[in-house]
Structure formats: C-alpha cells, structure tokens
Chain A
Amino acid sequence: MGPITSRLATMMTPKGWAALAAALLVFAVVLPVLNLAVPPGSPFHLPDFAVSLIGKYLCFAMLALALDLIWGFAGALSLGHGAFFALGGYCMGMYLMRQIGERGVYGHPTLPDFMVFLDWDELPWYWYGFDNFGFAMLMVMLVPGLLALIFGWLAFRSRISGVYFSIITQAMTFALMLAFFRNEMGFGGNNGLTDFKDILGFTIQSQQTRVGLMIASAVALALALLVCLFVVTSKLGRVLVAVRDAENRVRFLGYSVTHAKLLVFVLSAVLAGIAGALYVPQVGIINPGEFSPANSIEVAVWVAVGGRGTLLGPILGAVSVNAAESYFTGFAPDLWLFVLGGLFITVTLFLPQGILGLLRGLRDRLRGTARTPVAETAGHA
C-alpha cells in the first residue's frame, strides 16, 4: 500500500468509499438521466421541479458540512455561517448580473438595472472583474475566506470561545445584513440580485443548465466531504477534537490553538462560500435576507438534527429538515413552525447524537453489540 492509498484508507473504510461513489453516481448520473432522458409520462421520470429542489438541498448540505467542521470538530459554534454562504452567493450573483449585459430592461451595457433606476453613473470599483468567471470564482472563495481570517484571528487570538463566539458571529452576520440592506452599498438593497440570464453561456432557465448545476453541486459536496474527512483524520483534526474537549490543556501542551482553529474556520468559510455560489444560480436570487441571524441558527439545527461531529450527519440533517420544510409549507403552512420548533427541542433533548446517532444506535442494537456512547463533553463553553 502506497502512502497515498494508505492515507485514503485512514479517511474512510473501503465500504465508505464505495458508498460515496454510489451516492455520487446517483446524484451525478442516475438522477440527471431520470430527468432528461426518461419521458415525463413515465413513473421513473424525475420532475423538473425536483431537480431544482435537490440542487438546493445539496447546497444546504454543503453549508451544514462546513458548519460541522468548525462546530463539530473545533467546538466553536458559528452563528454567522449564513454570512459566508451569502457572501459566496453575492460574488456569484455579481458575475451573473454582469452576464446580463445589455439585456437588462434599460439596456445599459454595464450597469445592472437597479443601479440605473437609482441613478448611478458608473459601476462601483468593487464590481470590476466580476464579468470574468474565473475572477468571480476566486472571489467566491477569497471574500468569505478573508472575512473569516480577519474575524477568526481577532476572535481566537483573544480566546473568545463558546457562547461568546456564537454571539459575536451572530452580530457579524446581523451587521452585514444591515449593511447589505442599504441601497448605497451597491448590491441592490433589499431586492438583492435577481433576473439572471445565463451562466458560462448557458441559459440559466434551461433544464439542462439546471441539471448541470445539480451535478456540480453533488460533485462539490463530495469533494467538500473528502476535504473535511482529510482534515479531521489528519493530525490537525486530532488537535481540533482535543481543542473542542479541553482547549486550555491543548494550549498548555504547546499547540497553537489559535492557528488550528483559524485554519478550519477559514476552510469552513470557504466551503460555505462555494455552497452559496452554487445555490444562487439555482434559486435565481440572492438578497440580504440570507444574512439574517435566523438563517444561520437554522443551519446549526440541521447539523444538530443530523448529528454533529460526524460530517455525514449534517448532510442528512440539512436534506431531511429542508425536505420536511418543502412538504409542510405546501401541505399545512400553519403547522410548519410547530414542526420545526418541536424538532429543535426534541433533538436537543432526546437525540444529542442526532439522526445519525439514532441510526447507529439502532444498527448496533440489531447486531447485538452494545456500543459505549461517545463521551460528549460540552467543552469549555
């Protein structure tokens, strides 16, 4: 076994690798075929509507995965991950706006419509370069990454942890939300960025593009999962878990807690940004509402529901909670908040390990092997 394969083996069991490949096959090949190649009348046809939903869920899953990396493994619950997601989304949105070109209602060659009717004369400097896809994608990662770097450096350096970290990240996303609401900022204010036409030359409203975006989301999620697995199975990952469980002891052992946390925080923010960038073309709008503190809290719930510190759990959690939301808001709108609220309470009270913990418990019981519960300490919160 060469060093690379042995490294891969430490990340997941062969069965795990096979499962990942199977999942990727389902989302990147089977579902697209079911949608595009199977005729609409067939019982096996995947409706168009489902494609955009699945694509959206995959983006949310990636966001939940990103949060799990910093919360589940470094013990820092960020209530500002919606901000990184939204910033990535805005970078993508700016690219998409620039692609509209003269097809806007006022036919202005460079200015987006909202700038025209708010009487702007020229494109603000921070919009330059976004007509280039490569540059925009760079920004999708750089902007959230840089914000996380600065914010994390300030926070971790002064040893802000636990609840305090949660609250100031919440303040961060709240401040950003207020800032993006301002029309003077040049990001379209409350309406945000919308009415996109095409991406990389493909019409954004065509079904092929939508399937393509779903495939891209699935692939990105798989890659993100691998990156996260790589990190948590590395030495850094073990330091992180140690930080989560006893920060001061790790510090006294001579590890740089600040750097370790900062690294995963930035990585996590970048992943969230990419998720946001994939989300925007699929839902067709990005606006400051994405920054709202409630959204970020909801992400934490997906993670908790799925099972934090498991990487796979958050993906499960994001998909199942959002699928439930799609169902209830169509079926019994008045009940949705009761269901969501009840879920929060039930999971925290009765399912501290989330769905994944529940499933594992069931599996173990079926096999008759009693597992010792993972010692879950609250850390130094």
Chain B
Amino acid sequence: MTIFRKPRRLALSAVLAGGTALAGLVSGPVLAQEEDPIRVGVLHSLSGTMAISETTLRDVVLMMVEELNEDGGLLGRPVEAVVVDPASDWPLFAEKARELIEVHDVDVVFGCWTSVSRKSVLPVFEELNGLLFYPVQYEGEESSRNIFYTGAAPNQQAIPAVEYLMNEYGAERWVLLGTDYVYPRTTNRILRSFLNANGVSDDDIMEDYTPFGHSDWQTIVTQVRDFANQGLQTAVVSTINGDANVPFYRELSNQGIDAFDLPVVAFSVGEEELSGIDTDNLVGHLASWNYFMSVDTPENAAFIEQWHDFIGSEERVVNDPMEAHYIGFNMWVQAVRQAGTPDVDAVRQAMYGQTVRSLSGYDVVMNTNHHLSKPVMIGEILEDGQFEIVWQTDGLVVGDAWSDFIPESAELTADWTYPWVCGNCTEPRFEPAQY
C-alpha cells in the first residue's frame, strides 16, 4: 500500500577510508519515465513521540492517493505518495522537507503536527517555494505564503468553547490548564484576554502549565478542586497535550470530580486519543473541534467506510485532523485540476475560494489568509469514545491568522492576494510577490 521511492536524482555516499577522508559523489542516471507521476510528499513522524498521532495521518493521505489513482489519477497522470519519516525530530523535519522538495521533486506536502515541526520546515518551504498542508489546530499568529492551514485557528475552537461554557453552564471561574508549549500559552493568553473582556477578573482565572507527558496529576487536580470549590461554577479549559491526558482524566475522576461539577473542555482530545483511554472517566466532558466522527452526513458515512476498508479494521476511528487532511487534499486536487498543472504558484492562486463539502456536511472555503472557513462543534464524550454533538455554529467561522485578542497582532492582516500580498501586513503592499 505504501509507495516508497528511492531517491531518483542522487545517491550520495560519503566514502571515507583508512586515515584519509575523501568524499565521492555518485550521481545516479536520470531515469526518464514515460508518464511522470505527480508526487505528493507525506511528512509525518512514523517513529518517536509523535508517531502516536501522526501515523494515522500518513495512512489517510495514502488512502486518498490510492482512491485518486483508482479514479484515473490527476490531469491524466498517476499520483505517487512519497513517505518520509522525520522521526519526531524537529531539525530532521527541515531536512526531510528539503529532501522531499529537492530530491523527490514533490508538488505538494501534507505534513507536520506540532507547532515546532511547522516552524522548523517553514523557512524551507518558503525558500524552495513548496506547498505544505498543515492539518492540526494550532495557536495562529502565523501566515505563510507556502502553507495552507486546514486545522482550526484559536477563534475556530477555543473561543466558541468558552462562550458555550459561559452560556450553557454559567461558568464564572476558569482553570486554564495546558502543557508548557506555545499552543497552550498562546491560546490561554487569547482566552484570558477574551475572559477579561467579558468581565472575568484575573482572580477568577487559574493558569497552570505542566511538562510534556506529565503523569502525576495529584497536586494539580487537588489545586483545581480547591479552586473550583469556592461556590461559583467553574470550568476547566484544557490544552493538555496527548499523552498527559490519560492520567489527568483518571485523576479527575478518581478524585470524584464529575463533568457536571467541573466540565473540562479540551482542544487536543479527539476520537483517536479517546480510543487509547478508558472513557468511563471522561463521560460528559467536552471537546471543541470542527468535526466529530459522529456527525450524521452521507459524506461522513462514506468516508468512514472507506477508511475502515483501507485500514482493514472496523475499530479505527476518524478525527478532526484527518478531516482537515481530507479537506486539504480534495481542495488541492480541485485546485490542480482548475489550474491544469501541479505547479505551486498556479495551484496557490487556484486554492483561494476553493470550496469542498466537508465530512461535517458544510461547504468549507479556503480564504486568502490561507486559513479555512469551517464550522465549530462542541461534543460531549460518550462511553463508547465518541462525541455527542451538543452545540454547533450556525454557519462557517472564518479562521483568523492573527488574533484580535493579542494587542500586537490585532492590527495585522494576512491576505495573499493583490493588493495585500502579505502574511502580516498593517497596510496593503501593492506589490507582486517576489518569487
């Protein structure tokens, strides 16, 4: 199922012998192929700490490539996936991105999960004018000409969730818990500013950060209990990352904190994460995403069936970043067809305004700030690890590259079409891009 390619243009081997150091380069012959395929790079960690989340995303891209080929390929050419393993090592992400573009000559890359991996590859994509589809919810505050952000920006996930808790639960005190990295820090800064604007004083906000993979939550959960036991309805906003969630929810439940006493809304807990958790402890807690597997649409049912067939297991779940890749991949395919070429510059132009019927049944749109307009949904965790959707936006929410709640970024605009042509402008630039 995986189509691996050997480097075509070059086989580099450094031959160093005896006491002498010599580097010899052997350039392989350039093989002319009858029908040059369109190449799609997949840059997801298959080993190391992030393999937990990213392996699935590789599979979903491979599935869509396979389907595309069954349907006759793209522009009459076959599509080939080039998979590399950046091994959760951030400098290696940059190296592999360069390898994909320079050596494997890919036309587009689907990849990255963590912010740091995206930050690491960003200069490479900009330098080589590549195209990256980034499928994960992130902290915003970025807009690159060479990246399309198909995950949620903070205003498409965090702020709607907090509004929901205010309205539905009457939450007045807030615990902002997160893993100590840039996404929780930025999200919580935005939320604090949003809460302050809504009349919540800093005394009623508790903010705490833990290391990656934090496993001993006894002290923090006790502190949260104390904080919540002050008579006002309290809610927890969790930006706790992946692995630390299991022990966190276990500790909450064992200390007798129920979802209706102290609802926890999480931005990093989805179906995939829940499949590794004993969900008894989590029932009733909330998550905010742009998509849930339980969405009842024909597109979603078909996708789930296709996924189960592809992966060979009925047990496997679908989650939001997978849907983001689904949207991103289909948009890219449409844009390539429209442009008539996989060329990056042409495809980028064709991407703007591209519409795809998402699995959640909405016609999501790619905006000129390289972020999507997507629906926002809030789900309650059920015993079977699925979500019951308890609230969703009426229409689409436009992703903000720059948050209005951070003073420095409030005045910035991202727009990659004339006359702005800029990812962080305060005024139009009236100049074409330099590439």
Direct A/B contact, Cβ within 8 angstroms? yes
Q: Do residues B12 and A289 form an inter-chain contact, with CB atoms below 8 A?
A: no
> Which residues from chain B contact A368 at a C-beta distance below 8 Å?
none
Q: Do residues A118 and B185 form an inter-chain contact, with CB atoms below 8 A?
A: yes
Q: Do residues B119 and A54 form an inter-chain contact, with CB atoms below 8 A?
A: no
Q: Do residues B46 and A333 form an inter-chain contact, with CB atoms below 8 A?
A: yes
B interface bracket (residues with beta carbon within 8 Å of A):
35 or more
CB distance from B119 to the nearest CB of A (A): 5
B334 within 8 A of A: no
- Bound-state CA distance A330–B99 (Å) is 8
- Bound-state CA distance A363–B18 (Å) is 9
Mask: chain B, 70-99; 1 = CB below 8 Å from A; 0 = not = 000000000000011111011110111011
B263 within 8 A of A: no
Q: Do residues B180 and A189 form an inter-chain contact, with CB atoms below 8 A?
A: yes
Q: Do residues A182 and B90 form an inter-chain contact, with CB atoms below 8 A?
A: no
Q: Do residues A54 and B14 form an inter-chain contact, with CB atoms below 8 A?
A: yes
B428 within 8 A of A: no
Q: Do residues A117 and B23 form an inter-chain contact, with CB atoms below 8 A?
A: no
Query: Chain A residue with minimal CB distance to B9?
Result: A47
B168 within 8 A of A: no
Q: Which of B19, B91, B123, B181 contacts A15 (CB 8 A)?
A: B19
Q: Which of A47, A117, A336 contacts B102 (CB 8 A)?
A: A47
Given contacts A190-B182, A323-B14, A330-B96, contact A22 B119 (CB under 8 A): no
Stretch of A1-9, A148-156, A191-199, A342-350 on the interface side: A191-199
Q: Do residues B19 and A16 form an inter-chain contact, with CB atoms below 8 A?
A: yes
Q: Do residues B102 and A49 form an inter-chain contact, with CB atoms below 8 A?
A: yes
Q: Do residues A23 and B22 form an inter-chain contact, with CB atoms below 8 A?
A: yes
Q: Do residues A191 and B115 form an inter-chain contact, with CB atoms below 8 A?
A: yes
- Bound-state CA distance A195–B125 (Å) is 12
> Which residues from chain B contact A315 at a C-beta distance below 8 Å?
16, 21
Mask: chain B, 399-412; 1 = CB below 8 Å from A; 0 = not = 00000001011001
Q: Which of B14, B90, B123 contacts A205 (CB 8 A)?
A: B123
> Which residues from chain B contact A337 at a C-beta distance below 8 Å?
47
Query: Chain B residue with minimal CB distance to A333?
Result: B85
> Which residues from chain A contact B7 at a C-beta distance below 8 Å?
330
Given contacts A181-B180, A329-B87, contact A49 B14 (CB under 8 A): no
Q: Do residues B123 and A284 form an inter-chain contact, with CB atoms below 8 A?
A: yes
Q: Do residues B16 and A316 form an inter-chain contact, with CB atoms below 8 A?
A: yes
CB distance from A307 to the nearest CB of B (A): 12
Give residues 94-125 of B contacting A (CB, 8 Å).
Answer: 94-96, 98-99, 102-103, 114-116, 119-120, 122-124
Mask: chain A, 298-340; 1 = CB below 8 Å from B; 0 = not = 0000000000000010011001100100100111111011000
Q: Do residues A191 and B182 form an inter-chain contact, with CB atoms below 8 A?
A: yes
- Bound-state CA distance A359–B18 (Å) is 7
Query: Chain B residue with minimal CB distance to A41?
Result: B30
- Bound-state CA distance A168–B181 (Å) is 27
A52 within 8 A of B: yes
Q: Do residues A285 and B96 form an inter-chain contact, with CB atoms below 8 A?
A: no
Mask: chain B, 9-35; 1 = CB below 8 Å from A; 0 = not = 110111011111111010100000000
A interface bracket (residues with beta carbon within 8 Å of B):
35 or more
Q: Which of A23, A182, A329 contacts B86 (CB 8 A)?
A: A329
Q: Do residues B116 and A192 form an inter-chain contact, with CB atoms below 8 A?
A: yes
A57 within 8 A of B: yes
Query: Chain A residue with minimal CB distance to B190?
Result: A117
Given contacts A191-B182, A332-B4, contact A26 B23 (CB under 8 A): yes
A283 within 8 A of B: yes
A46 within 8 A of B: yes
Q: Which of B95, B181, B209 contacts A326 (CB 8 A)?
A: B95
Q: Do residues B408 and A43 form an inter-chain contact, with CB atoms below 8 A?
A: no
- Bound-state CA distance A106–B423 (Å) is 11
Q: Do residues A22 and B20 form an inter-chain contact, with CB atoms below 8 A?
A: yes
Q: Which of A48, A53, A106, A194 contacts B95 (CB 8 A)?
A: A53
Q: Which of A50, A283, A326 contacts B94 (CB 8 A)?
A: A283
- Bound-state CA distance A47–B126 (Å) is 18
Q: Do residues B90 and A289 form an inter-chain contact, with CB atoms below 8 A?
A: yes
> Which residues from chain A contact B115 at a C-beta distance below 8 Å?
190-191
- Bound-state CA distance A117–B141 (Å) is 8
Query: Chain A residue with minimal CB distance to B93?
Result: A285
Give residues 51-76 of A contacting B (CB, 8 Å).
Answer: 52-54, 56-57
Q: Do residues A49 and B19 form an inter-chain contact, with CB atoms below 8 A?
A: no
Q: Do residues B46 and A283 form an inter-chain contact, with CB atoms below 8 A?
A: no
| Residue from A46, A106, A205 whose CB has the most chain B CB atoms within 10 Å | A106
CB distance from A287 to the nearest CB of B (A): 6
> Which residues from chain A contact B209 at a C-beta distance below 8 Å?
183
Give residues 36-59 of B contacting A (CB, 8 Å).
Answer: 46-47
Q: Do residues A50 and B84 form an inter-chain contact, with CB atoms below 8 A?
A: no
B424 within 8 A of A: yes
B189 within 8 A of A: yes
> Which residues from chain B contact A119 at a C-beta distance below 8 Å?
189
Given contacts A27-B23, A181-B211, A316-B16, contact A333 B83 (CB under 8 A): yes
Q: Do residues B120 and A118 form an inter-chain contact, with CB atoms below 8 A?
A: no
Q: Do residues B424 and A105 form an inter-chain contact, with CB atoms below 8 A?
A: yes
Given contacts A285-B119, A285-B120, A287-B116, contact A53 B19 (CB under 8 A): no
- Bound-state CA distance A330–B2 (Å) is 12
B418 within 8 A of A: no
CB distance from B434 to the nearest CB of A (A): 13
B212 within 8 A of A: yes
Q: Do residues B20 and A23 form an inter-chain contact, with CB atoms below 8 A?
A: yes
- Bound-state CA distance A46–B10 (Å) is 9
> Which residues from chain B contact A19 at a C-beta distance below 8 Å?
18-21
Q: Do residues A49 and B90 form an inter-chain contact, with CB atoms below 8 A?
A: no
Q: Do residues B406 and A117 form an inter-chain contact, with CB atoms below 8 A?
A: yes
CB distance from A328 to the nearest CB of B (A): 8
CB distance from B128 to the nearest CB of A (A): 9
Q: Do residues A183 and B182 form an inter-chain contact, with CB atoms below 8 A?
A: yes
A-B contact pairs, 17 of them (CB 8 A): A27-B23, A44-B27, A105-B424, A106-B412, A118-B186, A183-B180, A189-B182, A189-B185, A195-B123, A285-B91, A289-B89, A316-B16, A319-B14, A323-B14, A326-B95, A330-B99, A334-B47
Given contacts A57-B14, A205-B127, A334-B85, 12 further A-B contacts (CB under 8 A): A19-B18, A23-B22, A48-B102, A54-B23, A114-B182, A183-B181, A183-B185, A190-B182, A320-B14, A333-B47, A333-B87, A336-B47
Across chains A and B, which 5 residue pairs bring their CB atoms closest together, nearest first?
A333-B85, A23-B21, A190-B181, A19-B20, A283-B91
